[in-house]
A and B are shown apart, each in its own frame.
Chain A
Amino acid sequence: MSAKDEILGRVRRGVGKDDFAGRRAAAVASLIDTGRGPQPVMAGNLAERFRLKAESLSSTVTAVVRREDAPAAVAAYLAANGLGLQAVVTPDVGRLDWAAGGLQVEPRSALDADKVGISGSFCAIAETGTLMLLSGPETPATVSLLPETHVALVNVSRIVATMEDAFALLRAERGSLPRAVNFISGPSRTGDIEQTIVLGAHGPCRVHLILIG
């Protein structure tokens, strides 16, 4: 007997129910109307909440009014922190006029040597101060992972309340999941040596957010 048949046989005996086909149809049907668990009640506006939570997770934040203002804001952040003016960008934001802000950018996936990665974001979650990034040809996942500094552009109009709202947006706009959905909440961290929290474990040491709108 194959491992699969043997394991599923044991599971079926443990479950102790028959009518597999009927139960399976009911389970599949239950996936269509996906109910939510208890939802948070958040006072104030979502953008403010997002900003406060993101900052509490050691991200830094700059707000700009227009999308065209983002390159100058990124350049100012990099200059202020002595991080150079070269960056890899995800192709979806590659069309912005980065050169006008004094930045030299390359739209591609990231390499180990890249010091700064600039990405857009699919949406952001106010409840926890979290970015939601989707992998794809225009949005390679390495840009938010390999460089020590990750700068992300976040449209204020794309800040939703909860992870459930983010999934609703994903279902509505994409229908299915990309290879990777990455929820990012601040710089990478570890507490594995004597429970002392250190920022910059394997992923970025710094996360800077440009809020647009």
Chain B
Amino acid sequence: MSAAKHSQAMHFQARAGEKVRNPVLQRALQKAKPLFVGKRAKGVAALADDGLDFELLRTTCEGIRNRTLADLDVWLDIFEERAKATGAEVLWARDGEEVSRLVVDIAHRHGVTKAAKSKSMLSEEAHLNEALAAAGIRPVETDLGEYIVQLAGETPSHIIAPAVHKTIEEVEALFAKEHGRPIETRTSADIPDMTREAREVLRQHFLTAEMGISGANFLIAETGTAALVTNEGNGRMVTTLPKVHVVVTGIEKIVPTLEDFATLMRLLPRSATGQSISNYVSLLTGTKREGDHDGPEKTVFILVDNGRANLLGSAYQDMLRCIRCGACMNHCPVYFSLGGHAYGWVYPGPMGSVLTPLYTGIENALDLPHASTGCNQCGSVCPVRIPLPTLMHRLREEQVERGLRPWSERLALQAWAWIAGKPLLYRWFARRAARYLNWLADGEGRIRILGLAPEWTAGRDLPVAGRQTFHELYAARKRA
């Protein structure tokens, strides 16, 4: 798979250790978590004020997504036909490299030297910015968080808050360098000024870019429309001012009707930021019309597969319901211990632990399905009820079935299976092990440092079971 070559997911353990020990990152994450969780909880609770039942809405949204996926070939066909009827061009891309090739080609045909981008995670899958730069076209990220991340030469660490890992001092250093001014001491009271500074710089890019690139939160089949949800207004800028607008989006993003879209909008912003609605919701259909003063003269949809179609009809189809709200990572204890970069590819958190192995190859992301406490916080907040922990379990099972686990683990499990299949031997071992562990615990009921695996007991003690094994207790009771 071409996506695998950019993935760092195989280095998860090493990166995770690094992130846990990074005090700056830890400070940024600890500050963000309660905000994300609190805002969503408030937003969801507010539904009841209008007599709306969150669980019923979830079921409805799950149903809309399932209905679309069940006949996705049909909905894609209807979308393409209707989008074309509005004057848009519709192209298809098998993978990220094809996305980049198509976008660069469109840029060359229209004499584009600069492309203003609204946030698109799919363009991260495609490494589109690198491809544009290599072709002599300057990509400018315009979402404030994406802009910060681009200046730092990094990738987003969160799908809706790309710079959540950055502190104000780091942002100030990046702005000072890019905007050609000395570094100043900044406190949170200066954040409006810093935002203003970025606004002024980026405004000039909006006005001069010949191409706007955006993703789409949804594609509406009924009308051949791209729906874009933003708070900053950069989505409106890049789809209104440049003469060419390219929408890069996954084939699974389709919903049938405007009404389905309205239903999903009751949960998407709430699940993401707790807002009842995002500041700007734009429905973009076709190109500049007769008599219009603004809008792109050329609109191109690039519908991308990059591993999605293979999930249809598979044990992982549920994942295609995902509407990219980010609630799963916002509620994940593992995500908030590590931040997004540890996950090594485009999507972090529970969403990434499922998508990365599926899109880049199960063998290329062995740790990610294990990067879970199994708490199911992600599954319980998902607005489209994706059973994320179940999907992670399935991926773990597949690792075992395909012999992808490390030899030590396989050997240990084989040894255990061999012993467990022989009752007398099993009892003998269990008795010895219970006595040995109790001897190690030295009457305290817990082991402070486990000799064979000291890392397990680095931050906690191992509680020890009783001296008697289950079989011994059972036999004793039967006698009594």
A: residues with CB less than 8 A from B are: 2-4, 6-8, 10-17, 20, 23-24, 27-28, 30-31, 34-38, 40-42, 53, 57, 108-109, 112, 127-128, 130, 135-137, 140-142, 145, 162-164, 167, 176-196, 198, 200-204
B414 close to A (CB within 8 Å)? no
Q: A185-B278, A195-B32, A198-B195 are in contact. Are A40 and B50 (CB under 8 A)?
A: yes
* Contact B293 A188, beta carbon cutoff 8 Å: no
Q: How far is the CA of A136 from the CA of B290 in the complex (A)?
A: 9
Residues of B within 8 A of A203 (CB): 232-233, 236-237, 279-280
Closest A residue to B252 by CB, please name it: A11
**Chain B residues numbered 224-265 whose CB sits less than 8 Å from any CB in chain A:** 225, 231-234, 236-237, 239-241, 251, 256-260, 262-263, 265
Judging by beta carbons under 8 Å apart, are B222 and A31 in contact?
yes
Q: A112-B207, A179-B284 are in contact. Are A30 and B232 (CB under 8 A)?
A: no
Q: Closest residue to B267 on the A side, CB-wise?
A: A37
- Contact in complex: A179, B287 (CB < 8 Å): yes
Across the interface, do A11 and B309 meet the contact criterion of CB distance under 8 Å? Answer: yes
User: Which of B71-79, B374-382, B391-399 lies at the interface?
Assistant: B71-79
Having A12-B73, A192-B144, one finds 11 other A-B pairs with CB under 8 Å, namely A8-B77, A10-B309, A42-B50, A162-B262, A164-B259, A180-B284, A183-B277, A190-B231, A191-B273, A195-B35, A204-B233
Q: How far is the CB of A117 from chain B (nearest CB, A)?
A: 12
Total A-B residue contacts, Cβ distance less than 8 Å: 261
Q: When chains A and B are docked, how far (Å) is the Cα of A189 from the Cα of B199? A: 11
Closest B residue, CB atoms, query A39: B52
Q: Of all chain A residues, which has the CB nearest B75? A: A27
Q: Quick check: is B25 within 8 A (CB to CB) of the other chain?
A: no
Question: Given A178-B285, A194-B188, A198-B192, are A2 and B92 neighbors across the interface (CB < 8 Å)?
Answer: yes
* Closest chain A residue to B278, Cβ basis: A185
Query: Is there contact, CB below 8 Å, between A13 and B313?
Result: yes
Max chain A C-beta neighbours (<10 A), residue from B163, B164, B277, B282: B277
Identify B256's interface contact among A7, A31, A109, CB under 8 A. Answer: A31
Task: Report if A38-B309 is in contact (Cβ < 8 Å); known contacts: A188-B231, A195-B32.
Answer: no
Which A residues lie within 8 Å of B77 (CB)?
8, 24
Contacts of B266 in A (CB 8 A): 37
B291 at the binding interface (Cβ < 8 Å): yes
| Cβ contacts under 8 Å, B345 to chain A | none
Chain A residues with CB under 8 Å of B144's CB are 190, 192-193, 201
A189 — which chain B residues lie within 8 A by C-beta?
A: 231-232, 279
A174 to chain B, nearest CB (A): 11
Contact A7 B94 (CB under 8 A): yes
A-B contact pairs, 19 of them (CB 8 A): A8-B73, A14-B72, A14-B312, A15-B73, A27-B78, A35-B259, A135-B295, A141-B236, A167-B259, A176-B223, A179-B286, A187-B279, A190-B195, A191-B231, A194-B31, A200-B192, A202-B142, A202-B234, A202-B237
Q: How far is the CA of A31 from the CA of B222 in the complex (A)?
A: 7
5 closest Cβ pairs, A-B complex = A14-B312, A203-B233, A37-B263, A137-B291, A201-B232
Contact with A along B128-170 (1 / 0, CB 8 A): 0000000000000011110010000000000001111011100
Smallest CB gap from A182: residue in B: B282
Which residues from B are CB-within-8-Å of A202?
142, 199, 202-203, 206, 232-234, 236-237
A14 with B309, Cβ < 8 A, contacts A179-B284, A192-B163, A201-B233 known: yes
